[in-house]
Structure 1
Amino acid sequence: MVTRVLRTLEQLNALGHEVLVFAPGDPPTNFAGARVVRVNSVPMKPWYPELKVGLPTPNIAKAVEEFAPHVVHLVNPVALAAYGALSGARRDLPMLASFHTDTPQYADALGLAPIRRIGTAYLREIHNLAEVNLCTSPQMVERAREIGIDRVDLWPKAIDTVSYHPDKKSPEMRDLLTDGHPEDKLMVYVGRMSKEKNLRALLPQIQKLQSRGVRLAMVGSGPDREELEREFAGTNTLFTGYMSGDALAGAFASADVFAFPSTTETLGLVALESMASEVPVVAARAGGIPFAVTDGRSGLLFDPASEQEFTAGLEQLLFDDERRAAMGAEARVEAEESSWRAATEKLVTFYEEAIDRHWARSHTLSSYSLRMRMFGRPLPRPKDLPPRLIDEVPGNV
């Protein structure tokens, strides 16, 4: 989700749009020409202490009013962005929301199943304040509709094929990831280490395959890392901690296979990054993964309920060098078919659609518009713009 936001900000800046960002944690004051406002936040303890939940304050609404945006983009509106939705509705602003995390499903994985029903209803109500709701895969479009989210569409996938490239492969990185055994076969997982990622599915795999000279590198960290390290102790598994930049690109490119058992992905951007690195993927046939990985072309998909299918997929690519190389080359070609510029240009058309829908709705006698007229404090619609933003006029997001 963060990667998509960062690359989108870069492209919006290149397209001439002005953006104001509100972010929890410790963000920079600006990024890619966008001003970034740090908001107060608290860690989501005890379930996910690394996740910082933004806290709404009146200063956020004040900053929005001063910025006077044409449209508000609500990124995963659960806490901070949910406040943005309520604040935007009160001020009669066009809104677009993006659905990046299947929060109800994550609640089950994190032991919060009792709040799933009320949480789903809450998520539905917040998203349905927006004129457009975007998901990052067709599977998640269907999931959003299933839980009652309206006006849903697809935000096209995109991948950085410059940063993630087969040329980033390095003997030094392979030596590191194999714990000094570069001649062994290497499967890699990259990403967050938390319960919803289903990483324990990798334990029987390395236990079966290590006798055949296979090693597993787990790149990243998260609230489940310490427990995973204890459970994987005694296997050919190396936990590297976080990597970024060239080191991360090198970790992808230096692997033989990317092993991805997660069943909760809305897209699986790390799978695309592996494909761009010319490394085929063995992934669970679940969530948005079938949108990212073409089974039999850029990787192999397995039934997440079948340990045997997972093993068979790994064996096929780890021990068949010719097939692995051919599938890696196809994975690179597939990754090159998507660009951040094209995805962001499509996003801008969705912003325009949200603006059109909003102003069309504001002129009807709906209960929504009556409530806003009675209790809201709407910002004036820009008088110098026609109903649809024209290409020559940059927008505010």
Structure 2
Amino acid sequence: MMRIAWLGKKSPFCGNVSYGMATTAALRDRGHEIHFIHFDTPATQIGRLLKAGPGDEQELAGEDQPDVALPYLVKSQMYTIPSPRANRELRESLERIQPDVVHASLTLSPLDFGLPELCQQLRVPLVATFHPPFDASLRNITAGGQQLTYQLYAPSLARYNKVIVFSDLQAEVLNRLGVPEDRLAVIPNGVDPRHWHPGSSELQQRFDGRRVFLYMGRLATEKNVEALLRAWKLVQPEGCVLVVVGDGPLRNTLETSYNSDNIIWWGYEADQQRRSALLQAAEVFLLPSLVEGLSLALLEAMASGCACIATDAGADGEVLAGGAGIVISTQGVTTQLRTLLPVLRDQRLLTAELGRQARRRVMERYTLSANIDSIERLYRELNSPLPLVA
């Protein structure tokens, strides 16, 4: 078993947090010693524990493990600015822990760029998981902004021993930007199909017998939720309800503009059991993003047996290709959904078959156990004597 220093996020909630918590919990279950290094303060951790409510147990699981809280100036879902003391405290923590491997689930922080040199000095192998969403075709302004993030990070990523990405397409983008092919490891996200699975939902009665179409994710520009809302308003599918689960900077604006009896603004749902129940209640899952990495929410919906419709941003189109769902373009989302929503409303056999195919795809390619198997193999390869990275 290995001693792993994991650098990542525990708050605020985002895909990076979900990835880090699920992966480290699974590695602990396999007997590895995990030291979680994240940006927080002791007072904040105490407050989180005191305020934890029902359903927060899994997110807070492992808080009693040997963690390190690094000081920060600014922390958001998108990026983190560390305090001037953070570099020194990180070095001292790694010298004390003496890990077999450092795994950085990159938080879009200036600290990310100094990690290769620090780990070379400490002679410990360094792995990154690179999360930022992308659209390789640069079809919109948001995609162009994300491409700049990839260009900014590429020179530093080339100095990591291994960089985990979620798809072949993402690897090709980084390779074109100068990250050597042998430094890249394609390990898709995975979900636990024992937790995310089809079934009857305790929440179904909340929707008055209406068929549930669901969006779950951030309410931010890159998620393109307004395009979905415009299509829903135009079609007004009879006997159906759109449930919007999530929070973000656009929530108030969107909720005010699209206030309707057949739209339920659920808000952020912290309880994993209730998120699972929402997906079990849903017949159709919709993800209209302009940019993506590999959406965990999409994989959770697929494992839950939802018929999934997503744009071809990031790796999402690759996940659904070949019959596991319906893939649409990031351009003209409203127009495409205006055509699809009546079909999905009228063709229940189609949605049922799409749900079965989605679940099958997850079981074949995107389970958490397969993800952890691949990560463990990578750790073992790197734990042999290594030459310093030039």
TM-score (norm 2): 0.80
Contact 2:197 2:304 in 1 (8 A): yes
Q: Return structure 1 stretches of 4+ with deviation > 4 angstroms.
A: 25-30, 49-52, 103-108
- Whichever residue aligns with residue 309 of structure 2, its letter is V
1:313 is aligned to 2:346: no
1:144 is aligned to 2:174: yes
Q: Which residue of structure 1 lines up, in the alignment, with residue 185 of structure 2?
A: 153
Question: Once the 2 structures are TM-superposed, how far is the Cα of residue 253 of structure 1 from its aligned partner?
Answer: 1.0
Question: Once the 2 structures are TM-superposed, how far is the Cα of residue 126 of structure 1 from its aligned partner?
Answer: 2.0
Relative to structure 1, the CA distance from residue 59 to residue 104 in structure 2 (aligned partners, 3 Å threshold; closer, same or farther) is farther
For the residue of structure 1 that corresponds to 2:236, the secondary structure is helix
1:285 is aligned to 2:339: no
Q: Which residue of structure 2 lines up, in the alignment, with residue 215 of structure 1?
A: 241
Relative to structure 1, the CA distance from residue 148 to residue 314 in structure 2 (aligned partners, 3 Å threshold; closer, same or farther) is farther
Map 1:119-268 to 2 at 5 A.
Answer: 119-150=149-180, 151-170=183-202, 173-176=203-206, 178=207, 182-210=208-236, 212-234=238-260, 236-243=262-269, 244-268=271-295
Relative to structure 1, the CA distance from residue 23 to residue 190 in structure 2 (aligned partners, 3 Å threshold; closer, same or farther) is same
Q: Aligned partners of 2:98 and 2:134: how far apart in 1?
A: 30
Q: Which residue of structure 2 lines up, in the alignment, with residue 9 of structure 1?
A: 24
Q: Aligned partners of 2:325 and 2:156: how far apart in 1?
A: 36
Relative to structure 1, the CA distance from residue 198 to residue 131 in structure 2 (aligned partners, 3 Å threshold; closer, same or farther) is same
Q: Aligned partners of 1:346 and 1:264: how far apart in 2?
A: 26
Question: Once the 2 structures are TM-superposed, how far is the Cα of residue 205 of structure 1 from its aligned partner?
Answer: 1.4
Question: Once the 2 structures are TM-superposed, how far is the Cα of residue 120 of structure 1 from its aligned partner?
Answer: 4.2
Q: Which residue of structure 2 lines up, in the alignment, with residue 383 of structure 1?
A: none
Q: Which has the higher contact order (CA 8 A, sep 6+)?
A: 1
Q: Aligned partners of 1:121 and 1:134: how far apart in 2?
A: 17
Question: Once the 2 structures are TM-superposed, how far is the Cα of residue 279 of structure 1 from its aligned partner?
Answer: 0.9
Q: Aligned partners of 2:223 and 2:155: how far apart in 1?
A: 27
Structure 1, residues 17-47: CA drift from partner, whole Å, max 9, x if none? Answer: 2121111245578728842222223445xxx
Q: Aligned partners of 2:174 and 2:191: how far apart in 1?
A: 23
Task: Mark the runs of 5 or more structure 1 residues left unpaired by the alignment.
Answer: 369-397
Relative to structure 1, the CA distance from residue 33 to residue 294 in structure 2 (aligned partners, 3 Å threshold; closer, same or farther) is farther
1:350 is aligned to 2:378: yes
Q: Aligned partners of 2:255 and 2:124: how far apart in 1?
A: 48
Relative to structure 1, the CA distance from residue 61 to residue 3 in structure 2 (aligned partners, 3 Å threshold; closer, same or farther) is same
Relative to structure 1, the CA distance from residue 301 to residue 81 in structure 2 (aligned partners, 3 Å threshold; closer, same or farther) is same
Q: Aligned partners of 2:341 and 2:117: how far apart in 1?
A: 47
Q: Which residue of structure 1 lines up, in the alignment, with residue 66 of structure 2?
A: 35
Question: Once the 2 structures are TM-superposed, how far is the Cα of residue 347 of structure 1 from its aligned partner?
Answer: 0.7
Contact 1:77 1:126 in 2 (8 A): no
Map 1:57-76 to 2 at 5 A.
Answer: 57-76=87-106
For the residue of structure 2 that corresponds to 1:266, the secondary structure is coil
For the residue of structure 2 that corresponds to 1:166, the secondary structure is coil
Given the alignment, which residue of 38, 41, 54 partners 1:23?
38
For the residue of structure 2 that corresponds to 1:311, the secondary structure is helix
Percentage of identical aligned residues: 22
Question: Once the 2 structures are TM-superposed, how far is the Cα of residue 248 of structure 1 from its aligned partner?
Answer: 0.7
Q: Aligned partners of 2:18 and 2:117: how far apart in 1?
A: 26
Map 1:355-366 to 2 at 5 A.
Answer: 355-356=383-384, 359-362=385-388
For the residue of structure 2 that corresponds to 1:69, the secondary structure is coil
Contact 2:134 2:291 in 1 (8 A): no
1:109 is aligned to 2:142: yes
Contact 1:252 1:279 in 2 (8 A): yes
Q: Which residue of structure 1 lines up, in the alignment, with residue 3 of structure 2?
A: none
Question: Once the 2 structures are TM-superposed, how far is the Cα of residue 230 of structure 1 from its aligned partner?
Answer: 2.2
Q: Aligned partners of 1:317 and 1:347: how far apart in 2?
A: 38
Given the alignment, which residue of 335, 339, 344 partners 2:367?
339
Q: Aligned partners of 1:41 and 1:301: how far apart in 2?
A: 40
Relative to structure 1, the CA distance from residue 95 to residue 294 in structure 2 (aligned partners, 3 Å threshold; closer, same or farther) is same
Q: Which residue of structure 1 lines up, in the alignment, with residue 131 of structure 2?
A: 100
Relative to structure 1, the CA distance from residue 240 to residue 142 in structure 2 (aligned partners, 3 Å threshold; closer, same or farther) is same
Contact 2:286 2:308 in 1 (8 A): yes
Q: Aligned partners of 1:183 and 1:83: how far apart in 2?
A: 55
